[in-house]
Amino acid sequence: MADGGTDPTRQVNEETLRALARSLGRLSAVETTSLFPATRQESLIVSLLDDHYPASIGEVRLEIRLFTNGEFHVAYAERYLGELRQCR
């Protein structure tokens, strides 16, 4: 276990996120998956194809964070007429 953690039971659940990235990456609605990108080091980012959305909506994505203490966060984001909208 790495030193310096405030809660050693709370690590990023990397293997589950890797498995999720593989499974989600095969879905027809998914454009790309990105695991731990430079500015989201705990997250799996899932970009969805915007074919099913109105033309005013783009950059649709899910952000998933999972931890080994069972904690998880899921956020949805889309760009609507250029404005970022999100919920979590």
Partner 1 sequence: MSTVVGSISDEGSGPPEGSIAEEFATALEDQPADERVYRVALQLTEPARVAVVAERVDCAVDTARRHLRRLVDIGVLRQDGTEPATFSRNESYFEWRKRNRLANLSESELQDRLSTLANRIETFRERYDASEPAAVDALEHTDHVDIETVWQDLSEWQTVRERIERIEAVRRDRAGNAGVA
User: Which residues contact partner 1 (rule: CB under 8 A)?
Assistant: 1-6, 9, 11-16, 19, 23-24, 26-29, 38-42, 48, 52-57, 65, 68-70, 73, 81-82, 88
The residue among 32 and 40 lying less far from partner 1, judged by its C-beta, is 40
* Total residues belonging to the chain: 88
The H or E element containing residue 33 is strand 30-35
Rounded Cα gap, residues 35 and 58, in angstroms: 21
Residue number with CB closer to partner 1 (15 or 32) = 15
The smaller minimum CB distance to partner 1, of residues 65 and 77, is found at: 65
**3-class DSSP assignment, residue 68:** coil
